[in-house]
Amino acid sequence: MIASVALRLAGEHDTPALEDLIPLSARALQAATYTAAQIEGALGTVFAVDRQLIADGTYFVAERHGAIVGCGGWSRRKTLFGGDRGDVPRDDALLDPQIDAARIRAFFVHPAWARQGIGRMLMSACERAAIAAGFGRLELVATLAGEPLYAAFAFRVLERYEITLVTGQVLPAVRMAKTLVRD
């Protein structure tokens, strides 16, 4: 674990801090791969809090001295990406660990903490939790900026496509998957 950074499960009381962190992270860390219009169009729908993850106990926050510096989770539900508000398609039906892949969801890191291991810490926790829940595979929808992190965790590209945003902009995305290795 990174010195002075601790992981814990998110609670509903964390929602305001997450609603502050997500736009900060997206605007700073997605700027090299998306236009300002694409980022703004994705905020609140694609780049947003999903309270279902928090309620399910599958969403982690990384804290340093009581401040949230990163967040990310996994899900046992069919929805692949996006927040719980807006027009992003959702399917909250439960997945079957014997046949379905768990979902990796909503990773965001404070720009001051980018590329310091927070994403890796969150991903490792998600993988361990998904394995403990009986899943043998993971699937996700990555941003172009997030793709290298997931590739470093042995995710492979399934398809590249575009998400149409409420503004009419499109957001290039990458659907990725991996098989989990049980210890």
Q: Tens digits of per-residue pLDDT, 50-81?
A: 999 999 999 999 999 999 999 999 999 999 99
How confident is the model at residue 183, as a pLDDT?
66
Give the helix, strand, coil percentages of the chain, each rounded to 5: 30, 30, 40
Reading across the β-sheet that carries 156-164, which strands appear in turn? Answer: 6-9, 59-64, 67-75, 102-109, 137-142, 170-179, 156-164
At the fourth CATH level, which superfamily is domain 6-82+94-179? Answer: Gcn5-related N-acetyltransferase (GNAT) (3.40.630.30)
Any idea of the CA torsion for 88, 144, 177, 166, to the nearest 10 degrees? Answer: 10
Q: Where are the domains of the chain?
A: 6-82+94-179
* Residues 69-113 pLDDT 10s: 999 999 999 999 999 887 777 899 999 999 999 999 999 999 999
Q: Is the pLDDT of residue 156 over 90?
A: yes
Give CA separation, 102 vs 115, 136, 163, 179, in Å.
25, 8, 21, 10
How confident is the model at residue 18, as a pLDDT?
98
Give CA separation, 140 vs 31, 43, 155, in Å.
21, 18, 9
CA distance 104 to 130: 9
Q: Which of 115-142 are b and which e, b meaning 16 or more Cβ less than 10 Å from the residue's Cβ?
A: eeebbebbbebbbebbbeeebbebbbbb
* Residues 160-176 pLDDT 10s: 999 999 999 999 999 99
% of the chain at pLDDT higher than 90: 91
Any idea of the CA torsion for 108, 112, 114, 118, to the nearest 10 degrees? Answer: -70
Helix (H) or strand (E) holding 109: strand 102-109
Q: Is the pLDDT of residue 1 over 60?
A: no
